[in-house]
């Protein structure tokens, strides 16, 4: 029975990851094949394709869940993902951790390297309305897939830490096409640094989700908080940001609950 259950989990995960990667590379092919410029503006074709890509994990999770569990499986996925009855402290932690890491990294850069905060340290890339929409949309589009669908299954197979590292690598490499698209935030950056960063995030998010009884709400809030900083704050962090995120991940490992303590899930 356990072997059959594990086999079904592995098959579901494989289908999920294939759907996620397939969608994102198909959209990348459309960008290149049709000569579309990268954009995050929904009023442009490039922006529409970008928004479609941001929802790929959600779409993949719904499709694979529907194949395995039908309507009831989809209902269970969303019920578990939006469970809200857990300690308010974890809501606060999900929002505060990215802010705290940014503050500590900035203070370290100022204190140890005489870095200077620019006059326009708060410089939103988007207007307020679209920024709010994008943060919510991106969090929902990714986290129900990564943390609502994939994480519980990976924890059953690999344990909390193994699942966090595996999902961090898969999550970061899913963004790979953006590294080849001029105008994206990833363009020109190091993919290896990106894998490290998102793996650290993944460990922190797993700790939050497990502490929140399997709810994806904390993952969405963490994602939105981290992206809000990326899209609005221009402060010197230098390499201290990577060091501080590594420390945050190390501390989170101490609090990682055993996979058996997560909210029960139907496969």
pLDDT digits 0-9 by tens, 158-211: 999 999 999 999 999 999 999 999 989 899 999 999 999 999 999 999 999 999
Can you give the pLDDT at residue 188?
Answer: 92
What's the pTM? 0.93
Residues 6+ apart with CB under 8 A from 55: 137, 141
Confirm if 95 and 221 have CB atoms less than 8 A apart.
yes
Can you give the pLDDT at residue 236?
Answer: 83
The C-alpha angle with vertex 57 and arms to 51 and 58, in degrees rounded to 5, equals 80
What are the two backbone dihedrals, phi and then psi, of residue 36, each rounded to the nearest 5 degrees? -85, 135
Can you give the pLDDT at residue 87?
Answer: 94
Condensed to tens digits (0 to 9), the pLDDT of residues 64-110 reads 999 988 999 999 999 999 999 999 999 999 999 999 999 999 999 99
Q: How many CA atoms lie within 13 A of 133 on its CB side?
A: 9
**CA 128/CA 149 separation, integer angstroms:** 31
Condensed to tens digits (0 to 9), the pLDDT of residues 110-159 reads 988 888 888 788 888 777 888 899 899 999 999 999 999 999 999 999 99
Confidence of residue 5 (pLDDT cuts 50, 70, 90): confident
């Amino acid at each position: 029975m356990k072997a059959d259950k594990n086999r079904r989990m592995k098959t579901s995960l494989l289908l999920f990851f294939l759907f996620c990667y397939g969608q994102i590379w198909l959209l990348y092919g459309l960008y290149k094949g049709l000569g579309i410029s990268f954009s995050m503006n929904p009023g442009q074709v490039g922006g529409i394709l970008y928004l479609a890509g941001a929802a790929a994990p959600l779409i993949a999770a719904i499709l694979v869940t529907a194949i395995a569990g039908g309507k009831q499986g989809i209902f269970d996925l969303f019920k578990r993902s939006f469970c809200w009855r857990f300690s308010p402290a974890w809501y606060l932690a999900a929002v505060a951790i990215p802010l705290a890491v940014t503050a500590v990294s900035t203070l370290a850069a100022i204190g140890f390297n005489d870095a200077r905060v620019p006059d326009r340290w708060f410089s939103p890339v988007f207007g307020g309305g679209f920024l709010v929409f994008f943060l919510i949309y991106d969090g929902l589009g990714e986290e129900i897939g990564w943390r609502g669908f994939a994480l519980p299954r990976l924890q059953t197979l690999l344990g909390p830490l193994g699942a966090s590292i595996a999902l961090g690598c898969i999550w970061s490499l899913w963004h790979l096409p953006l590294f080849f698209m001029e105008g994206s935030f990833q363009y020109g950056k190091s993919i290896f640094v990106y894998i490290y960063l998102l793996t650290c995030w993944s460990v922190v998010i797993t700790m939050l989700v497990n502490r929140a009884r399997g709810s994806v709400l904390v993952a969405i809030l963490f994602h939105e908080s981290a992206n809000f900083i990326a899209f609005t704050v221009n402060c010197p962090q230098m390499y201290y940001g990577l060091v501080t995120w590594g420390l945050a991940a190390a501390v989170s490992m101490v609090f990682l609950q055993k996979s058996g303590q997560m909210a029960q899930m139907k496969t």
